[in-house]
Amino acid sequence: MPFEIFLVMHSHIDVGYTDRQERIADYQADFIRQAVDYALSDKQKNRAEDAKFKFTAEGFWAAERFLEKYGREGERRLIAAVKSGYFELTGCYFHLAELLNYENLNRSVSFACDFVKKHKLKALDTAMAADINGFSIGMSDVLYDAGIRYLSASINTHHGGAPFGRPMVPFYWKTPKGNRLLVWNGLTYHKANLLGIVPGSAPIGDPGIPGMKADGTGVIDVKGPDDYAAKRLFQMVEGFQRNGYPYPFTLIMGSGLYTDNSPPFDGPCELIEEWNRQYGDRIHLRTATLAEFFAYLAKNAGDIREYEGDWNDWWTDGALSTPDELRLHRNAQRVLRTASLLDPGDAVIPKAQKDAAAKQLILYAEHTWGHSHSFHDPCKLIVRQLDARKSAAAVQADILACTALDKASKALGEAEFDARKPFGYLAVNPHGFSADCVAYLPTDFWEEVYFSDNDYQVVDEDGKVYPHQRTTTLRGAFVCVALSLLPKERRRLHIRFAPKGKQTPAPAETPDGAIRGETVFENAYYKAAYSARGFGEIIDKVNGETVYDGGPQPAAPVYQVFKGANRWDAAGFGYSARKKMAGEVLNGELTDFKVKTAGGLFIVLAAEFKTAGARYYRVDYTLYKTLNRIDISVALAKDLVLDPEGMYAVFPFARASDWRLDKAGGFIKAGFGLPQTCCDYFNFDRGVARDGGGVAINSPDTPLVMTGGLKLWEYTTQAGPADKLYFWLTNNKWETNFRTQCAGMLGYRFALSFVKNDADALQMLDKNDIEPLIIRG
């Protein structure tokens, strides 16, 4: 039997990278039209069945752009092409960095599935990923629940890697719900172009296929199978056999041109017919859809092993090159979820408005961040244009999500902004479980006279008086009260004023001050000892253990720089060898630690650090007298540095332990992943927690953490117990696609709580992620 090569033609979707995003949208619309035309062409009738033009749409985003541009007639022809069997729609929207929560992952898959269902087409069973290095563990269930049973992954190993450390491995991916997907962990896309199967300009050199060697340099003009394919395909198959590849078939991806965002082309059809006449008895080529390949794979691969675990994405670290925009994206996702919890039936906020916000969230999470020359020519106008347009998706998502929450707030009774706003408030717990919180009731600076000339109290509708603390904020102040809210409870509060001496005045806040000697702060949940030298000890009273006993302060800066390093050498493009970079790790120095404010409900301790890579690094610690929570906020003035570098916030602990990650669709141990997937760093949704109970840490502004030590470019694939967590704040390691520098005024927040077990940890992460809403009206 001949060796069987399946050729899947597609156009790789990069929303940017090669041109402005709006031009890419237009290009991709035209590529779908061209592929539809090829699929429905009369030329198909005269082609052999194994050489007919077939096209697989990588993501439904391109189909959407086509439908927008070509309207009803375009829709009719697309449906006809799908029904012909020569044009394949797949389940994903496009290729994502690991930034979306479970709800938005589901949304991203719904667009293609809804189109197919609406037009009564065959249900989708195949999804395709190209470039990206992984998926959140919950994506497996998202796909399965949408009817997807097959997943093709064409991983680009640049700064990353494939499961098992090699391509062309089929496996069943067991989902958290106990289902499974058949996955083809394939070669990187464009191999058909590099092997001479696609007529036209073909680069020669290293094709990035294990077992094959470079073949000179330059470009060759391919007209027929003997120009290049006859040489390279036999070399490839011989290399497979020499290296013990167990199957007599494989899958090769190709496009019209060797470029991302490539048009389709039917030129391979005639080349394949000629190839099969000459060489088909030894290597048989055939065009295919992914569904056809998977049907063949399932039937002919024999025993396929099953694996479970996370498929942690190597590439999401690039998102830290845009820390401000990433913070906006995470805020928008959290705000949209809050709005949805308040309005689950779309009675107040139309579904279309929520979907519009979600689409901007999904667009920002698309794996393309900027131009291919973002490092080499960062000042060029087009590079800046792509960067600005990428940022615009995060900004627009935040606008739409905040507008949705504003609408929900109005429906709950938020008052109009007029010259005499009432001092009435509504505290709303959006969760289906009880929530303790400190509610921050906002007042404006022009209302200061009410507080300076009067005594005041905070009361509810039953006349209950609440202890409170007033603290300044931007353009005004907060009156803070401690609340315990039942599931979904809405509680009305009012600030009641009276002439001086007519009611109990509020306790005054302690102003800034130095710390003299060792001081202990203690509540029902934790005990913290501190002095002018910083924290000395933090005891978790929930579990009866010391969690911090010295060393770097919680959230202290750690800076890593690779001076003069060549980013490309460490990347390992196309399974090539990697050169380990020599880096320097510099710990920040605590220069000041003092009381910033103190009152009846909480104290704020302020720390300043001196660190390389930043003009300043400041941390505020808020310790609450009634809450199981320590809030930590970091203010970072980041320097512009062009060498590869990163800033981290370190959290040291008294003992090493395993850590759990709150992933979209799963709460898993760090390192519980498919074989040889990324363990240098871990992506998460809301935060992390010690396995089995202990400390839980929310991280609303950055979604990446390293455990145990700094592991950038280590390419580790295993993780174990760790006594330090390094939350990754900024990263400029990439020499393409991502922003070169991370300079600016940046902010990060963390929340520490103490829990008995994993179930409590997950609920605490949820509770601290979305706090009760405070509405004035």
Q: Is the pLDDT of residue 508 over 90?
A: no
112-128, pLDDT tens digit by residue? 999 999 999 999 999 99
Is pLDDT of 685 > 70? yes
pLDDT of residue 511: 58
Nearest to 557 by CA among 383, 405, 727, 429: 727
Rg (CA), the chain: 29
Lowest mean pLDDT among 156-160, 300-304, 513-517: 513-517
Task: Name the CA dihedral angle for 208, 209, 212, 217, rounded to a multiple of 10 degrees.
Answer: -30
Would you say 755 and 688 are in contact if contact means Cβ atoms under 8 Å apart?
A: no
> What confidence tens digit (pLDDT) does each residue in 630-673 have?
999 999 999 999 999 999 999 999 999 999 999 999 999 999 99
Rounded CA-CA distance 240/247 in Å is: 9
* Long-range CB contact pairs, 503-508, < 8 A, 24+: 503/455, 503/456, 503/457, 504/455, 504/457, 504/465, 505/455, 505/456, 506/455, 506/456, 506/457, 506/468, 506/469, 506/470, 507/469, 507/599, 507/600, 508/599
CA distance 377 to 151: 36
What's the CA gap between 347 and 322, in Å, rounded?
A: 35
Q: How far apart are CA 334 and CA 699, in angstroms?
A: 12
Give the pLDDT confidence of 32-52 residue by residue, as tens digits.
Answer: 999 999 999 999 999 999 999
CA dihedral 132→138→142→148, nearest 10 degrees, is: 60
Give the residue ranges of DSSP H helices in 146-288: 191-194, 229-242, 267-279
| Joined tokens for residue 765 | 């992460």
**Per-residue pLDDT for 775 more than 90?**
yes
Give pLDDT, residue 514: 84
Span of 21-25, 396-400, 712-716 with lowest mean pLDDT: 712-716
Bridge-based pairing state of the strands 454-460 and 465-466? antiparallel
269-284 pLDDT, tens digit each:
999 999 999 999 999 9
Under 8 Å CB-to-CB from 217, ≥6 apart: which residues?
A: 204, 205
Question: Average pLDDT, stretch 554-567?
Answer: 96
Q: What's phi and psi for 456, nearest 5 deg?
A: -150, 155
Q: Say how far apart CA 58 and CA 61 lie, in whole Å.
A: 9
pLDDT at 507 (0 to 100): 58
User: Mean pLDDT of all residues in the chain?
Assistant: 96
The whole-angstrom separation of Cα 322 and Cα 328 is 10
User: Taking phi first (over 0 means left), then psi (-120 to 50 degrees means alpha), and beta for anything else, what does residue 216 get?
Assistant: left
**Is 42 buried (19+), middle (13-18) or exposed (0-12) by CB count in 10 A?**
exposed
- The H-or-E segment that residue 352 falls in is helix 351-365
Contact 539, 641 (CB under 8 A): no
Sign of the dihedral through C-alpha 67, 68, 70, 73: positive
- Residue 49 neighbours by CB distance under 10 Å: 7
DSSP string, 639-660: PP--SSEEEEEEEEEEEEE-EE
Q: Decide if pLDDT at 677 tops 90.
A: yes
Per residue in 564-597, pLDDT (tens digit) is: 999 989 888 778 888 888 899 999 999 999 999 9
For 294, residues 6+ apart whose C-beta sits below 8 A from its C-beta are 126, 149, 150, 152, 182, 184
* Contact in structure between 441 and 422 (CB atoms under 8 Å): no
Percent of the chain exceeding pLDDT 70 equals: 99
- Give the pLDDT confidence score for residue 510 in this predicted structure: 58
Task: Indicate the range of 384-388, 510-514, 572-576, 686-690 predicted with least confidence.
Answer: 510-514
For residue 769, is pLDDT > 80? Answer: yes
Q: Mean pLDDT over residues 22-30, rounded?
A: 98
Q: What is the pLDDT of residues 595-628, one digit of tens each?
A: 999 999 999 999 999 999 999 999 999 999 999 9
Mean pLDDT value of segment 199-223: 91
Question: Which residues sit opposite 605 in a β-bridge?
Answer: 595, 621
Confidence (pLDDT) at 513: 77
Query: Which run of H or of E encompasses 540?
Result: strand 534-540
DSSP state of 382: H
Cα 572 from Cα 322, distance rounded (Å)? 24
The Cα–Cα gap between 25 and 7 comes to: 25
Rounded distance between C-alpha atoms, residue 643 and residue 732, angstroms: 8
pLDDT at site 509? 58
Residue ranges in 40-138 assigned as alpha helix (H) = 60-84, 102-118
Helices (H) and strands (E) in the chain, counts: 13, 39
Check residue 501 and give its pLDDT: 80
pLDDT in tens, 238-257: 999 999 999 999 999 999 99
DSSP state of 53: -
Which among 26, 85, 100 has a CA at the least distance from the CA of 61? 26
Cα 259 to Cα 14, 202, 486: the distances in Å are 10, 11, 56
| pLDDT reported for residue 223 | 96
Instruction: Provide the edge-to-edge strand list for the sheet that holds 424-428.
Output: 465-466, 454-460, 490-499, 424-428, 773-776
Dump pLDDT digits (tens) for 164-201.
999 999 999 999 999 999 999 999 999 999 999 999 99
The CA-CA-CA angle for residues 712, 716, 722, to 5°, reads 85
pLDDT at 215 over 90: no
Torsions phi, psi for 238 (to 5 deg): -60, -40
CA distance 363 to 374: 19
Tokens coding 659: 């850590």
Number of residues written out for the chain:
777
pLDDT at position 588 is 98
- Burial (CB count <10 Å: 0-12, 13-18, 19+), residue 475: exposed
pLDDT score, position 577? 83
